[in-house]
C-alpha cells in the first residue's frame, strides 16, 4: 500500500462518521457531567488523562499485539480474554464488546481480510471480541502499518470522547477540537513509544470506572454507559 493510500484509508477509519460502534457510549462522561464532576474548563485535562492512563497503557498495546497476531486466532483469543479480565466495570466490559462487534461487523461487510473469520468466533461465543483486539485485527487486515493503525485508534478514541461531551452539552464543538489539537503532540509521542509486553498491559482511570458503574442509576440516560 502506498503512503498516500494508507493516509486515505486511515482518514476513512478515523472519521467520526465511520460506523465503528462508538456513538452509543460516553465511557463515563455522562455520569461525571450529571454529578457535576466534569466541567467545560476541566475537559482538556480530562481528555489528556483518559488518553494517557487508559488508551496508552491499555488500548494501544492490545491493538499493537492484535495487529501483529492478526493471522493467529489463538493469540487473538488470548488477547481478547486478557481484555475481558482487565475490564473491571461491567459497563466498560459490555461497551467494549458491543463496540468491537459493531466494528467487526462493518469490516466484515466491507470485506476486510480476517474480519469475517473472527466475527464467526465472536458470534459462536468462542471469544468476546473486545474493541482494541478487533481494531488491531481489522486495521492490519486493511493493510495499514502499525503506527498508522495506532494513530487511527488514538484519534478515533479522543474524537469519540469529545463527541460524547458535545452531545451532552458539556463542551462546544470548538472546545472539542481545541483540546484534541492541544493533545496531538503528546499522542504522537505515545504512538511512537515502544509497545510494552502483554504482562504490562493495564490502565488506571478509577473516576471513569466508577462513573460507568453508577451510570445505570442515572435518571436520564443518553448513552449506554
CA atoms within 13 A on the CB side of 191: 17
Query: For residue range 180-211, what is the model confidence (pLDDT) as tens digits?
Result: 999 999 999 999 999 999 999 999 999 999 99
CATH number of 3-9+25-214: 1.10.4190.10
User: Average pLDDT for residues 85-96, to the nearest whole number?
Assistant: 91
List Cβ neighbours of 96 (8 Å cut-off, separation of 6 or more): 83, 87, 130, 131, 132
What pLDDT, on the 0 to 100 scale, is given for residue 171?
97
Place of cell 480476517: 114
Residue ranges of domains in the chain: 3-9+25-214
Question: pTM for the full model?
Answer: 0.94
Query: For residue range 159-171, what is the model confidence (pLDDT) as tens digits?
Result: 999 999 999 999 9
C-alpha cell at 38: 466534569
CB contact at 8 A, 166 and 172? yes
CA pair distance 53, 22, nearest whole angstrom: 19
What pLDDT, on the 0 to 100 scale, is given for residue 21?
72
Amino acid at each position: 500500500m502506498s503512503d498516500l493510500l494508507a493516509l486515505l484509508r486511515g482518514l476513512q477509519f478515523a472519521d467520526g462518521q465511520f460506523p465503528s460502534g462508538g456513538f452509543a457510549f460516553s465511557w463515563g462522561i455522562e455520569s461525571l457531567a450529571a454529578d457535576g464532576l466534569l466541567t467545560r474548563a476541566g475537559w482538556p485535562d480530562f481528555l489528556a488523562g483518559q488518553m494517557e492512563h487508559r488508551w496508552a497503557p491499555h488500548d494501544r498495546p492490545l491493538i499493537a499485539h492484535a495487529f501483529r497476531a492478526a493471522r493467529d486466532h489463538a493469540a487473538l483469543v488470548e488477547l481478547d480474554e486478557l481484555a475481558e479480565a482487565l475490564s473491571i466495570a461491567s459497563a466498560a466490559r459490555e461497551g467494549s464488546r458491543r463496540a468491537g462487534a459493531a466494528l467487526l461487523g462493518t469490516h466484515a461487510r466491507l470485506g476486510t481480510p480476517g474480519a469475517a473469520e473472527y466475527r464467526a468466533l465472536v458470534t459462536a461465543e468462542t471469544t468476546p471480541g473486545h474493541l482494541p483486539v478487533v481494531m488491531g485485527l481489522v486495521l492490519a487486515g486493511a493493510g495499514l502499518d502499525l503506527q498508522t493503525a495506532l494513530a487511527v485508534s488514538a484519534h478515533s478514541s479522543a474524537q469519540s470522547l469529545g463527541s460524547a461531551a458535545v452531545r451532552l452539552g458539556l463542551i462546544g464543538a470548538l472546545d472539542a477540537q481545541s483540546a484534541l489539537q492541544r493533545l496531538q503532540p503528546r499522542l504522537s509521542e505515545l504512538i511512537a513509544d515502544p509497545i510494552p509486553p502483554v504482562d504490562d498491559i493495564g490502565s488506571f482511570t478509577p473516576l471513569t470506572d466508577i462513573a460507568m458503574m453508577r451510570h445505570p442509576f442515572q435518571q436520564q440516560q443518553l448513552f449506554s454507559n
